[in-house]
A and B are shown apart, each in its own frame.
Chain A
């Protein structure tokens, strides 16, 4: 079965600095990859996804992610962090062969300090 690793439990950055939240995945076939964000006491909000085509995907709130097949990674990035970006971020993978079984990483807590 597919799996996702988010190697950092916590990422701290200063406001205005670039941020990266890391994600690597394992899947038998070709993946669909997703990033979600969760604010306190809320559900998950969709940020962006990679389906096919351009490896650089742009999403909501200025976030982007790059699909790297050789490194099996899908890191989330933003050029200039905001305090309001502080939240819990989840990477998820779905095998194209099983469109209903999506696996999530454990989550990375991003804290942006003023």
Chain B
């Protein structure tokens, strides 16, 4: 049981390049989330998918798109990367139900030059 996995672990992009961050979970969770972590700011929610087939904006969605490919997989796409998107990105998942815990992946460290 791998939990939540993310690829790649590290990525360096030039401004304007695009890329997709991949996330998968094997816990049969309904809901999945993408966060970014910046120093001194904690984690901020970018997008989430409450269930397969649905996606919704979080606190900081600008510059990102997401796809809930199936129940297991939830990808985050940067269409035209900007230096302000340099961050550590975390995927998380949760079983539906009030109060249930979110479980996090190991993160992707992205640098945009």
Contact = CB atoms under 8 A, between A and B. Distances in A.
Interface residues of A, number: 26
Contacts of A107: 40, 42
A32 B59 CA distance: 18
B58 A101 contact: yes
Interface in A14-34: 32, 34
Interface of A: 4, 9, 32, 34, 36, 41-46, 49, 51-52, 90, 92, 96, 99-107
A44 B101 contact: no
Interface residues of B, number: 25
A43 B104 contact: yes
Interface stretch (B43-51, B64-72, B73-81): B43-51
A63 to B, nearest CB: 15
B101 A34 contact: yes
Contact of A100 (B44, B56, B106): B56
Interface in B21-58: 31, 33, 40-45, 48, 50, 56, 58
A111 to B, nearest CB: 17
Contacts of B58: 101
A51 B103 contact: no
